[in-house]
Chain A
Amino acid sequence: MTDTPTDLAIHARGLAKRFGPVQAVSRIDLDLAPGQALGLLGTNGAGKSTTLSLLMGLRAPDTGQALIFGHPAGSPAARRLSGATPQATDFPDQITPREILTYAAARYGTAPDISALIRDFGLNDLIDRRIAGFSGGQMRRVALALAFVGQPRLVFLDEPTSGLDSAAQDRFRIQARAYVAQGGALVLTSHHWDEIEAICDTIALIDRGEIVLSGRIDTIRAQTRITRLAFDLPPGRMPPPWLLATPDGARWQAETTDSDTTLRRMVTEGLPFANLTLHPLDLKDLIDRLQHKDSRP
């Protein structure tokens, strides 16, 4: 944590925004360094979109400040250094991806590398077609290309893959990781937990307008250290009570914070298990667990 605000892609402190009687977000603190990907999580209405719009400078916070590489969010310098996906549903019908990419690049003061964008975002047969009649997934690909067209050092991707087929989703994950590996900073909101997990190294969970959990995914995981075991038992055979296993269809499931000891004990006691699998708790369950532990009545 020796980074100064100027080094950080995002440095936000005490962001709060009220809409009439509704406190949309309060006390949002966020840091994001170059080469990091942050997953913003939260249910609908939790304050994700408001947080994004404050970080992008589309709205001014009531209190607090967000700095993008040291520049206030929304300032010309901050906008030059960042890119974002538009909500893909309402591109003007009359223009082609090439035209809109050229336009967006011009706003960054550059000419777009169209052939690279075609390759990276699968636009080959779309590039010169008018957007009228594009499917949701096709528009999404254009939207993704637009976030990266100005070679930003920070991108905001709001539900970037909804409507994409799985091949395009996979391609996007590879690209997003490559972008981060090259030093780009990335903010992602997604309903796909596996996508967050595949791309992001840190997460911030927003609930009722506040960040209730944030940190590196591996640190959070290390803190809980929960592993999930699944195995078969011969019909009629019950697992020992200490294992606290629950039936899951034909299989049994159990969770442990110390998989080595648990497994040794299962072997020592001669439990006739078969087809054993061990998985770390996935992100969704991990966060559910943490929220339950933290939830106040």
Chain B
Amino acid sequence: MTRHLSAETKLTLRILFRQPGFWVPTVLFPAMLYAFFGANSGGGAWASHAMASFAVYAVLGVGFFQFGVSVAQDRASPFATWQRSLPGPAGFLWLARILASVIFVAIAVALVVAVSLAMTDISLPAMAWARLAAVCLMATVAATIMGIALGSVASARAAVPLANLIYLPLAYLGGLWVPPMVMPGAINAISVWTPTRAMGELAWAAIEGRAWAAQDLGLLAAWTLAAAALVSVAQMRQRRALLPAKPLQSLKNPEGPRATH
């Protein structure tokens, strides 16, 4: 069992780390955005608030966008089909993906933190950093599963545009770019139901030393479970799914389609 999981994770990480064109921009992007738009927000509470927001944004970009959605591309490949024919639980494939996602998210978040330490006067107690790391871990699992869910139901071509359509509004609605208190009331009413808002609230609570609210933890867990359910439904559907190319000869079958029951 552990041999399988470690082999799965090693394979995933090898494939990804050997594509610097994929992972270097992926982990740099959130730190770059933060340097441009977040790190110059002054000092004090605002600075750490912005840093936490961009840390969550890094989680979302890497976990949801890069790791989850790429499932759509992999899903259709004959290699992935062959992997499904191998022994061992199929869930390990997802678990390995989540583990790899955690590693790349850790690099991306570390870069955001490094920028914040270099460009602002943030100083947080060790406990706040530790709790922020815990939030990022939870959020990574949630974001990656949500991305896998999207990648499982969308076609390879549709997945990236769809992901853009979902993840940019999610980042905005969650208050990762604009703090929730400056949102219009109507937007805020939607915002409180988004998974990104829950991630943000947990991250802000961590750096402000407040306790985590049960409703934020619950909301994030609910989104994660809903996404996981969608993944398993998509998995079951895939086993019965349509063939990509329908054989023309069969359409010309003079006897016509036969009933099987």
Contacts and interface: CB of A to CB of B under 8 A. Distances in A.
A248 B257 CA distance: 42
A208 B15 contact: no
Nearest to B248: A45
A79 B4 contact: no
A79 B4 CA distance: 14
A26 interface: yes
A147 to B, nearest CB: 9
Interface string B9-24: 0110011001100000
B84 A58 contact: yes
Given A19-B242, A63-B260, A208-B253, A107 B78 contact: no
Contact of A58 (B77, B79, B85): B85
A223 interface: no
Interface string B222-261: 0000000000000000011111001111110101011011
Interface string A78-110: 011010111101111011000110111011110
A79 B87 contact: yes
A130 B247 CA distance: 35
B247 A94 contact: no
B257 A22 contact: yes
A94 B16 CA distance: 8
A250 to B, nearest CB: 38
A90 B11 CA distance: 15
A192 interface: no
B87 A107 contact: yes
Contacts of B253: 23, 208
Contacts of A100: 11
Nearest to B246: A22
B163 to A, nearest CB: 22
B260 to A, nearest CB: 4
A58 B250 contact: no
Contact of A19 (B11, B86, B243): B243
Contacts of B130: none
Nearest to B81: A58
Nearest to A106: B7
B107 to A, nearest CB: 18
Nearest to A64: B260
Interface residues of B, number: 39
B79 A91 contact: yes
A56 B246 contact: no
A107 B14 contact: no
A289 interface: no
A53 to B, nearest CB: 8
Contact of B247 (A22, A59, A90): A22
Contacts of A94: 14-15, 18-19
B218 interface: no
Contacts of A130: 18
A74 to B, nearest CB: 8
Given A86-B81, A87-B78, A103 B251 contact: no
Nearest to A100: B11
Contacts of A212: none
Contacts of A44: 247, 249
A25 to B, nearest CB: 9
A155 to B, nearest CB: 11
Interface in A16-32: 16, 18-24, 26
25 contacts: A19-B242, A19-B246, A22-B250, A22-B251, A22-B257, A45-B248, A45-B250, A47-B250, A63-B261, A79-B85, A79-B86, A86-B78, A86-B81, A89-B78, A90-B77, A90-B79, A94-B18, A99-B10, A99-B14, A106-B3, A107-B7, A107-B87, A107-B88, A108-B86, A130-B18
Interface of A: 16, 18-24, 26, 43-47, 50, 56-60, 62-63, 74, 76, 79-80, 82, 84-87, 89-92, 94-95, 99-100, 102-104, 106-109, 130, 146, 150, 208-209
Given A103-B11, A106-B4, 6 more contacts: A59-B240, A63-B260, A90-B79, A92-B15, A95-B14, A102-B7
